Structure 1
Amino acid sequence: MADDQHIRSFDHWYGVRTSGHVELSETSFDPLRLKDATSYGPVNAWGLRKLLRILDLPASGAFVDLGCGLGRACLIAAEYGFERVTGVELAPELCKVARDNVAKCRIPRAGKPPINIIEGDVLHYCDYSVDDIFFIYRAFSLDFLLTVLAKLEARAAALKKPLTLIYTERLGWPQSECVSAIAKDGAFHKSYAGTIWGQAFFAYRCGEWL
């Protein structure tokens, strides 16, 4: 891929290890859950950074990466200046590396609150989340994603506040069914769609009717 050099350069500049792809079957990830998940791959940092500027999201918001892997998106969110940043990951090995990355990253504010890496189930987390911005990098099966969407819609209604969903996939991969599934979900209204540094980004708002 043409953007590989930019993906790796993030690790070089910020002193972390977030590059490379990890098959969850090679970790102690619950084997019964493998059908719901894919592999870990890093988002293009420069692309996500630019997207956040385009969306102009309020820094007072709380950001969560559902299926955070090695924590790259969380580091970019902290650099952006969100009030609170959370990463949720079920694989213990990936959580450990993500926490190490948070501790040693040279991005301002990284390694300090508000970045919190949680080893846990995304579905359970969504039941109690009070976050404003939800980030997903093609981490789940279609059925699992549909369950996540239903839970996010329920949280927006329960909290009586809108939320933002950012979904991304890497160009060059066959587009998953997830993009069309979100588009068909009447609760999520597209606010952005575009390609940045080899990454396809989609942003949606949920709960605007509240």
Structure 2
Amino acid sequence: MKILQHISYFWYIAINWNTRIAWYIVRNEWRGEKKYSIHSTGHDELKHLALADVNIEHASIYMPVDFTLLETGFQQLQLPHLHFIDFGCGKGRALCVAAHFGFNNITGIELSPQLYKDAQNNIALTQHLFPHVNFHLINNDAFYTPIPSTANCLFFYNPFDEMIMQQVVLNIDKSLLEHPRSIEVIYITPMHKNLFLEKGYTETFHQRIQKYMEISILKKEDVSKAKRRG
């Protein structure tokens, strides 16, 4: 079953991108799924949501983040690993890997009920390895989801379009105003990076591995601390 999933995923990437990238990604899929003991390979165009009259106009299709990009993101973080949130968490790959990198409070937000269930299954596998970690899954639209006051690392893998991202950035700003703190963003395929830069975020890391594989780390300092120091 797993072999068939990887073959299917290879051809999906090869057709939509090219075979060179497909080989690169699928090799990483084998390595990463074995390393982290999860089952998150595959793609989902969210057609089942459209059939259920859920508006997917602003959502992106599900494809899991490349393990190498994900690991690079965690390695580049500068703040303490407190509370990690993945917007559009899919099958929970980033959530599970976050536990391996030392986060004890991990939240995933996912619109699709089926992907939400898949994330639950993968979290159950990871929970056996890290019983102390507090996982929290939310089956909801990120547009309407408030940002917890403890969240200091946010993750995006191009989960939705600019309209939704604008509102999510506003939600983040509201949380930071109510509970001042420094925050970091791991942004894979950063299509709307400008929305963060316009709000005073600084890009602390950027890398492009393949033509379609790009990562940006964005950081916003606690303004209240800066004022106190001044």
Give the TM-score of the pair, scaled to structure 1: 0.84
Partner of 2:7: none
User: Which ranges of structure 2 fall in alignment gaps of 5 or more residues?
Assistant: 1-20, 225-230
Letter in 2 for 1:47: L
Partner of 2:178: 158
Deviates more, 1:127-136 or 1:148-157: 127-136
Relative to structure 1, the CA distance from residue 8 to residue 196 in structure 2 (aligned partners, 3 Å threshold; closer, same or farther) is same
Relative to structure 1, the CA distance from residue 100 to residue 121 in structure 2 (aligned partners, 3 Å threshold; closer, same or farther) is same
Contact 1:8 1:19 survives alignment (8 Å): no
Name the larger-Rg structure: 2
Instruction: Point out which structure has higher relative CO (alpha carbons under 8 A, 6+ apart).
Output: 1
Question: Structure 1, residues 154-185: CA drift from partner, whole Å, max 9, x if none?
Answer: 2111101121111102xxxxx73x134433x1
Match for 1:37 among 51, 59, 68? 59
Partner of 2:215: 201
Question: Structure 1, residues 54-107: CA drift from partner, whole Å, max 9, x if none?
Answer: 224313x10000110000000111110112011111111001010001112488
Between the aligned residues of both structures, percent identity stands at: 22
Q: What do you get for the CA RMSD once the two structures are aligned?
A: 2.5
Q: State the distance in 2 between where 1:112 and 1:157 align.
A: 30
Q: How many pairs does the alignment contain?
A: 201
Query: Is 1:168 aligned with 2:188?
Result: yes
Higher percent of residues as helix: 2
Give the CA deviation at 1:37.
0.6
Partner of 2:112: 91
Q: State the distance in 2 between where 1:29 and 1:156 align.
A: 37
- Where 1:36 maps in the other structure, the secondary structure is coil
Query: Is 1:73 aligned with 2:85?
Result: no
Query: Is 1:145 aligned with 2:165?
Result: yes
Q: State the distance in 2 between where 1:12 and 1:116 align.
A: 24
User: Which ranges of structure 1 fall in alignment gaps of 5 or more residues?
Assistant: 170-174
List, as ranges, runs of 4+ consecutive aligned residues in structure 1 with deviation greater than 6 Å.
none
